[in-house]
Amino acid sequence: MTATSGARLRDVNRVAVLSLLGRHGPLSRADIARRLGLSPATVTTVTRSLIEAGVIRKVDEASPRGGRPGELLAVVGSAAVAIGVKVASGRVTGVRADLDGTVQETFSAPFAETGANPFDALAQLLAPHLSAADAGRLLGVGLGVPGFVDSRTGLVEAPLLGWRHMPLGDYLTRLLGVPVLVDNDVNTLAAYEHLYGIGRAYEDFLTITLGRGLGAAIVCDGDLRRGGHGAAGELGHLPVDDQGPPCHCGKRGCLETYVSDAALLDQARRAGVVGERAVPADLLAAADAGHVTAREIYRHAGSRLGTVVAGVAAVLDPQAILISGEGSLAWPHLSDGFLDAFHRGTFPPLADGVAVHVDPWDDTKWALGAAALVLRAPFTAALTADGQVNAIRARLAAFPGAEGTQE
């Protein structure tokens, strides 16, 4: 094992222990080891570091029948909070969450992403919610955006929002006065799934989101894979046909131009299924009502997507595929085509080993995933820490009560 992979494993173990205690605690060290499949020695090391950080504590001892009482551990949920925000075209959705992932507040507001000063406007939207949080416990803000963050420069590329080479994280950090972490919104959803959702059962899975765009996030060995430039998971821009429809990225024939909401509506308009002013809900309603052509449009899109995902699965060997996003509302009509093509195209040794789950669309999950970017930051390995992560660690270490919970 390399030093880097070992550091990532320690990071994953810390996050897994913290998440487990937050969802199911108090638990004994033996229970933690059993539920997570970790060795007792690893659990002892991880829990000791978390106690020293002031984020978990010993509570009343369990009293099993016979034998020694088992020492129980629980998250100090009140030790810290974070704000998580999903940025979408025209709207932001956010949460304020405790260190154990408990949501204390949700909020949503209109947002003009193409306005004259969109970052200033975003800071103004967030400021009241930062003020509502106890400043002595606020670790920072996590943002999920429909694009990617260049891992070398921190610049945001979000074509769906009209943002190019935007220094979103650094600029908001200066405006808000707290650390701001930014990631692709599908990555933040995958972070939610792994810590709190369907993905808890897996260490290797793909999250695929359907809707205005087509996105994916890769969780491998319990860690998000962002790639060498931060653009891993741009499934929507996988080339399908270089003579195909134009894509907003500047190319032609990307997968997104065949299976996104806009692509499906365009096909439906040309087929006379819906009118020129139709929205995705109109096409879905037609399919729900039994319109044969509407259902065929969905089935064909599902089939194209299933074929591509089968190829991706052959490369990455995931345990599961998780489907989400607003476009998943049409899954009853997409699923037959997807599953048929996916199973036909799956590499034979994987034929029965890749589960497919659909997680109902909910923007709050995305926002909580964005908050998790911050909540997990104090436990990331030193080898992967950047300036913002170090700033979050320093804030946690300086919080009142941190020293009082150390042992």
Cα separation, 398 vs 343, whole angstroms: 53
Q: Is the pLDDT of residue 18 over 80?
A: no
pTM (two decimals): 0.82
The per-residue pLDDT for 382 is: 43
Q: Provide CB contacts within 8 A for 240, sequence distance 6+.
A: 253, 254, 255, 257, 258, 304, 308
Instruction: State the Cα angle at 332 between 328 and 334, rounded to 5°.
Output: 70
Task: Give residue-wise pLDDT tens across range 298-321.
Answer: 999 999 999 999 999 999 999 999
pLDDT in tens, 220-267: 887 888 888 888 888 999 999 989 999 988 899 999 999 999 999 999
* pLDDT tens-digit series, residues 153-166: 888 988 788 888 88
236: which residues sit within 8 A by CB, 6+ positions away? 213, 214, 215, 254, 255, 256, 260
For residue 197, is pLDDT > 70?
yes
Q: Cα-flanking dihedrals φ and ψ of residue 88, to 5°? A: -130, 170
